[in-house]
Structure 1
Amino acid sequence: MDWAGILRRISAQAVDLIFPPVCSGCGRLTGYAHAVCASCWAGMPFIERPYCEVLGLPFAYDPGESAVSPEAIANPPVFDRLRSVAIHEGIVRDLVHGLKYRDRTDLAPMMAEWMIRASDGAVAAADMIVPVPLHALRLWRRKFNQAAELARVIAERSARAYRPDVLRRIKRTSRQVGLGARAREDNVRGAFAVPEGAKRELAGKRIVLVDDVYTTGATVAAATRALKRAGAGDVTVLTFARAMSGPI
């Protein structure tokens, strides 16, 4: 008899009786913990194919296999590809804000599972999962890094190496919220560095760089530059949400 397993199931059932599982979006009762109800699920603005193979931007029509958006052609990103679960609006924005500003770290497992699926195989092919780091002072004030919470679960669920130690935030930057694209770039320029001891480990490796939201891309671009200067061979940026004005 698997007594340990039986005890875990009994404990889980007891917790559900005392604290019934509710929707992570609206708070309605659901049948499962860390899930969303049918109504919230229907309102999730998922990013699905067809989309740009480089920037992950959804197309308004299907331009054919391996299509690349005009934006990616005109301004190729420093990272190799970007994948996101959904557009940053409605319940998606609520989940991001819950994790980031309301200490809802319990949301990370659900969000990370969706990110693994949205990665389009990048997580499975990765040598390591790396979160976008916070500066030490901001981490001390916030107590946790939302990108690290997501990256840790992604690594655990996919059996990939979780490596928060290979990238550091060495410059204390202002909050990006409210800044324009150029100001965001200036704000994070030179903000990241790879420790000398980690450079050999990065040589030629496939990296999945994790953050919660992609807005203008200034932060992940600066982080990617640091990784590539250290020898990383391929960098996929993976976020839960991305801000955008609409399909292209």
Structure 2
Amino acid sequence: MRLASVLQTALRLVYPPTCLTCDALVEADHGLCGTCWGATPFIGASVCGLCGAPLPGDHVAAGDLCDDCLTTERPWDAGRAALVYRDNARRLVLGLKHGDRMDIARPASLWMAGAAGDMLHPGMLVAPIPLHWRRRIRRRYNQSVLLGRGVAGRTGLPFCPDLLQRNRPTPVLDGKSPDERFRALHDAVTVNPRRAGRVAGGSVLLIDDVMTSGATLTAATGALKRAGAASVSVLTLARAVKGA
């Protein structure tokens, strides 16, 4: 143990920890410097009960919804997000998703577990949004699996990385309208037949990196409810908010 401590100290002298999104020195690994922390829009306590988007005011009642969730039906039961998808949060999400920055998943899952709050309960099964196998090969990893594994580890909940599967490839959704997104994802996600026994009568916590229209989470929730899930909640690293 003493040798390990000495080696760890030596490594920190040679490779001191730096900020996740810049080169500034920080006190601990996987942290943000003061400037980047200030540029990261963490979501506070006043949130929409179905997607986690921030709501104005300090006295939001349980069940209050944002404009999107008032106008768009959500098949899941509750939802939360850790960050608003803008500024440094956007850089973090894109780094994790497209920049091979798998190290971001560690602090991100901590933020997500904190944002989930009372949405979690014992026995809830944590499951990531799946990638189609072709996209997974190109990207080499599924960022939602990394986030889901981290959330499960921090909360002590069971984790099933292959509970869901994409049964067909879908187009890149960036730039598409909400209606186009929902059409593209219709019936694109199914429950893995080998894991169907873990769904019936249980509760599932769906994990994804960012929620925009909610089309992907809708498709996944529909698959889980058809397989007999008693409840489905969603938890994302970031929530895209109009005007943000």
TM-score above 0.5:
yes
- Runs (4+) of structure 1 exceeding 4 A deviation are none
Please report how far the alpha carbon of residue 64 of structure 1 lies from its aligned counterpart in structure 2 after TM superposition.
4.1
Moved more, 155-164 or 145-154: 155-164
Given the alignment of the two structures, is residue 178 of structure 1 paired with residue 175 of structure 2, yes or no? yes
Given the alignment of the two structures, is residue 30 of structure 1 paired with residue 26 of structure 2, yes or no? yes
Q: Matched residues in 2 for 1:105 and 1:218: separation? A: 25
Q: What SS does structure 2 have at the residue aligned with 1:140?
A: helix
Given the alignment of the two structures, is residue 137 of structure 1 paired with residue 153 of structure 2, yes or no? no
Please report how far the alpha carbon of residue 198 of structure 1 lies from its aligned counterpart in structure 2 after TM superposition.
2.1
What letter matches 1:146 in structure 2?
A: Q
- TM-score, reference length from structure 1: 0.91
Among the aligned pairs, what percent are the same residue?
35
- 8 A contact 2:105–2:146 mirrored in 1: yes
- Name which of 9, 14, 19 aligns with 1:13: 9
Matched residue pairs, number?
Answer: 243
Q: Give 1:6-155 correspondences, 5 Å limit.
A: 6-62=2-58, 64-69=60-65, 71-155=68-152
Gaps of 5+ in 1: none
Given the alignment of the two structures, is residue 244 of structure 1 paired with residue 241 of structure 2, yes or no? yes
- TM-score, reference length from structure 2: 0.93
* Aligned-residue RMSD, C-alpha: 1.7
Q: Matched residues in 2 for 1:160 and 1:7: separation? A: 34
What letter matches 2:157 in structure 1?
A: R
Moved more, 121-130 or 185-194: 121-130
- 8 A contact 1:23–1:35 mirrored in 2: yes
Q: What SS does structure 2 have at the residue aligned with 1:152?
A: helix
Q: Deviations over 1:174-228 (max 9, x none)?
A: 1111111111111111111112332222112111110101011001110110011
Please report how far the alpha carbon of residue 39 of structure 1 lies from its aligned counterpart in structure 2 after TM superposition.
1.5
- 8 A contact 2:48–2:64 mirrored in 1: yes
Q: Deviations over 1:26-62 (max 9, x none)?
A: 2211111100011111222111122222232322224
